[in-house]
Amino acid sequence: MTIALIDYDAGNLHSAEKAFQRMAAETDAGTLVVTADPDVVARADRIVLPGDGAFPACRRGLQAIDGLEEAILDAVETRGRPFFGICVGMQMMARIGLEYEEVPGFGWIDGQVERIEPNDKALKIPHMGWNDLIVEGADHPVLDGIATGDHAYFVHSYAMQVATPAQRLAHVDYGGDVTAIVGRDTMIGTQFHPEKSQSAGLRLIANFLQWAP
């Protein structure tokens, strides 16, 4: 089995590469390939899309590589390959992003990405550091062993507002609800960085690599 970690110049992939390599080895889940090659993505059994920075820049960075976005969409939408979006990679699963301008997402999750507006003005933006997960989709296979109170590491100023409650699997409290995990069908995404979230993050990665939706 091949796991494609998409490299489209949208952040440092080193930590994600090491975490997914480690868990692929521990679960005997196959080989991780860091790639921007549409043909490799088309043949991959699982797809991981990271993303750091602003939604518009990540979206355009993905579209700038000829055939890459099309290969991802075909693999996930047509052939049902398991997909894991991380940070802005998760945000791009939404219908639209509203960071600086309106930019369409993949439309997989019924929601839009908006600036975090905490009801406590003492809370700073970006939302940065550790926060406690509040799990809503505990029966999801990728959340096996993940419980409310587990810690995850966040760095973001925008978050997904999910219109279909069943598609939000976990949130955190940061002056109000902030979406932490979304998913449906063969797709899952985390606003936090699982590769930096210690035991809970590694458990999520291992679960994803063994998931058979």
Which SS3 state, helix, strand or coil, does residue 76 take? helix
| Whether the Cβ atoms of residue 152 and residue 181 lie closer than 8 Å to each other | no
145/150 Cα distance (integer angstroms): 10
User: What one-letter code names the amino acid at 182?
Assistant: V
For the annotated catalytic residues, the residue numbers are: 87, 193, 195
Alpha-carbon distance values, 159 to 95, 118, 147, 172, 196 (Å): 13, 12, 21, 11, 18
Using an 8 Å Cβ cutoff, are 72 and 37 in contact? no
Tokens of 107: 């439309």
- Which segments of 13-172 does DSSP mark as H helices, in order? 14-27, 38-43, 55-63, 68-73, 88-91
With contact defined as beta carbons under 8 Å apart, do 57 and 21 qualify? no
Cα of first residue to Cα of last residue in the chain, in angstroms, is 15
CA-atom Rg of the chain in angstroms: 16
